[in-house]
C-alpha cells in the first residue's frame, strides 16, 4: 500500500509528514480548492539501511519540491482538475452554464457572480467567460473536465469586467478571444481592477489572478468552429461597455449575451445608454431560442430583453429631462427610475451610478 501524507497548506504553509519505509509516497498539498499530489520514490526499500541523516535530507528535499510547486505558478490543468467543479447545467445539447449569484463580488462568493459556461463541439471546447477569480476559473475548468477530455481551444471574454475575466489564467494554452476594444480596456483598467479587487476579495483569493488580454480579436463578426459546431461572435458598439461581444451557438440557437442582457440584477451602465438601447433593438434580430444573460436566469429570446429595455428607457427619459431642466448632477442621483426599484435586485447599489453615467452622456447632447 502506498502511504498518503497530507500536507495542508493554510496561511502560512503548514506541513505534516511522517517517516516511512515503504517504497513510494504521495504527498498531497491543498491550497484553497486546488490540490497538488507529488509522487516521491522509490525512496527506501524495506531492506535498506537508511541513515538518520539521509532521511532528513530526503524530507528536506521533498518539502522543498512541494514548496516550489506551491509557490510557483500552480499549473492550471493540475490545479483545475482537482478543484471542486462548478455545478453547471446543460441548458441545451452540449451547452453548459453556471448561473452566478445575484450579488456583488465578495470573499464568500469567491467572485462567482457572473454566468459562465462552455460549449462542446466534436473536436474542441469553447469557454465563455472565466469567472471572478482564478479559483472560479479552475472550478470551471474542472466542470469542463467532468464532461469531456476534448481540448479547450478558446476562452471567449464577453467584456472587460473582472467578474467575467479574472479566471482567464486557469485556461493556459487556450486562444483568448475578445472585442477589438477589449485590449484597450484591459490596458486602461486592468491594473486598477487588480488593485481595487484585492481590497474587496482579499489577498488569498487574488493570488494568481492575471489580466490575460485576448490573442484574437473580433472587429464586427467572426465564426469559430468547434468541430461540427459553429459559433457566431459579434462585436457591438458601446452599450453595457465599449467592448461587448456576444456568442451564438448556431447548433442549439443559444445566445450568450454577456452583460448586454441582465435579468433580476439591475443593469449596470459602463458604456453608452443611447448605444445600449440601440443595441437592444438590433439584438432582437438574433435568431436565438434562449439567452444566457450575463447575470440572471436563462430565459426565452427575445422576451428576455423586455425588463431591461423598460428600465433603460426610463433611466434615459428621466435623466434627459433633468439635463434639459438644467438640474445638477446631484439632483440626478435621487428618484431617477424610482418606480423600477422593487422590480430589480441590487437597485440600491447601481441605480445612482447608472444615473450619473447617463447624465454625463446626455450633458453633451
**Residues interacting with Zn ion, by CB under 5 A?**
161, 259
Q: How far apart are CA 36 and CA 73, in angstroms?
A: 12
* Calpha distance 301→292 (Å, rounded): 10
Closest approach of Cβ 256 to Zn ion, in Å? 13
Q: Which of 94/132 has CB closer to Zn ion?
A: 132
The residue whose grid cell reads 497530507 is 6
Rounded CA separation 49/177 (Å)? 58
User: In angstroms, what is the minimal distance from the CB of 158 to Zn ion?
Assistant: 8
Over its C-alpha atoms, the chain yields an Rg (Å, rounded) of: 24
Q: Pick the closer one to Zn ion by CB: 86 or 165.
A: 165
Sign of the Cα pseudo-torsion (63, 68, 71, 75, in order): negative
Nearer to Zn ion, 91 or 104 (CB): 104
Residue ranges of alpha helices (H) inside the chain are: 52-71, 76-81, 134-147, 162-165, 182-201, 203-206, 273-283, 306-324, 329-332, 347-362
Q: How many whole angstroms separate alpha carbon 294 and alpha carbon 284?
A: 16
In the bound complex, what is the minimum distance in angstroms from residue 244's beta carbon to Zn ion? 8
Question: In which element (H, E) is residue 126 found?
Answer: strand 125-128
Minimal distance, residue 8 CB to Zn ion, in Å? 36
CB nearer to Zn ion: pick between 79 and 178: 178
| Contact (CB, 8 A) for 1 and 22 | yes
* CA atoms of 173 and 163, how far apart (whole Å): 21
CB 255 within 8 A of CB 247: yes
Phi, psi of 206 (to 5 degrees): -85, -10
How far apart are CB 114 and Zn ion at their closest, in Å? 7
Looking at beta carbons only, is 161 or 274 nearer to Zn ion? 161
Contact 337, 350 (CB under 8 A): no
CB of 240 to Zn ion, least distance (A): 6
Nearer of residues 161 and 318 to Zn ion, judged by Cβ: 161
Among residues 62 and 112, whose Cβ is nearest to Zn ion?
Answer: 112
Work out how close the CB of 179 gets to Zn ion at its nearest, in angstroms, rounded to a whole number: 12
Amino acid at each position: 500500500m502506498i502511504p498518503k501524507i497530507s500536507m495542508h497548506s493554510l496561511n502560512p504553509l503548514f506541513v505534516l509528514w511522517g517517516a516511512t519505509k515503504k517504497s513510494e509516497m504521495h504527498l498531497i498539498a491543498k491550497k484553497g480548492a486546488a490540490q497538488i499530489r507529488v509522487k516521491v520514490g522509490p525512496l527506501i526499500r524495506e531492506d535498506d539501511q537508511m541513515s538518520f541523516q539521509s532521511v532528513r535530507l530526503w524530507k528536506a528535499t521533498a518539502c522543498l519540491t512541494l514548496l516550489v510547486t506551491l509557490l510557483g505558478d500552480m499549473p492550471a490543468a493540475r490545479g483545475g482538475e482537482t478543484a471542486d467543479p462548478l455545478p453547471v447545467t446543460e441548458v441545451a445539447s452540449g451547452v453548459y452554464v453556471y448561473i452566478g449569484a445575484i450579488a456583488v463580488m465578495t470573499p464568500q462568493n469567491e467572485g462567482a457572480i457572473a454566468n459562465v459556461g462552455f460549449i462542446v463541439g466534436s473536436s474542441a471546447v469553447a469557454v465563455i467567460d472565466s469567472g471572478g477569480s482564478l479559483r472560479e476559473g479552475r472550478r470551471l475548468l474542472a466542470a469542463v473536465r467532468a464532461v469531456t477530455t476534448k481540448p479547450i481551444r478558446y476562452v471567449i471574454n464577453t467584456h472587460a469586467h473582472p467578474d467575467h475575466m479574472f479566471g482567464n489564467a486557469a485556461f493556459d494554452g487556450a486562444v483568448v478571444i475578445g472585442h477589438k476594444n477589449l485590449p484597450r480596456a484591459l490596458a486602461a483598467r486592468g491594473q486598477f481592477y487588480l488593485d481595487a479587487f484585492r481590497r474587496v476579495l482579499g489577498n488569498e483569493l487574488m493570488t494568481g489572478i492575471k489580466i490575460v488580454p485576448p490573442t484574437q480579436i473580433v472587429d464586427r463578426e467572426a465564426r469559430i468552429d468547434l468541430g461540427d459546431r459553429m459559433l457566431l461572435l459579434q462585436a457591438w458598439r458601446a452599450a453595457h461597455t465599449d467592448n461587448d461581444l456576444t456568442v451564438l451557438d448556431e447548433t442549439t440557437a443559444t445566445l450568450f449575451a454577456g452583460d448586454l442582457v441582465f435579468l433580476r440584477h439591475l443593469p449596470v451602465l459602463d458604456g453608452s445608454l443611447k448605444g445600449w438601447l440601440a443595441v437592444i433593438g438590433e439584438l432582437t434580430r438574433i435568431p436565438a431560442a434562449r439567452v444566457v444573460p450575463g447575470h440572471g436566469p436563462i430565459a426565452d429570446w427575445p422576451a428576455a430583453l423586455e425588463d431591461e429595455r423598460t428600465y433603460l428607457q426610463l433611466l434615459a427619459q428621466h435623466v434627459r429631462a433633468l439635463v434639459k431642466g438644467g438640474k445638477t448632477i446631484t439632483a440626478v442621483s435621487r428618484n431617477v427610475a424610482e418606480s423600477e426599484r422593487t422590480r430589480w435586485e441590487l437597485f440600491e447599489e447601481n441605480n445612482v451610478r447608472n444615473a450619473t453615467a447617463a447624465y454625463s452622456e446626455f450633458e453633451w447632447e
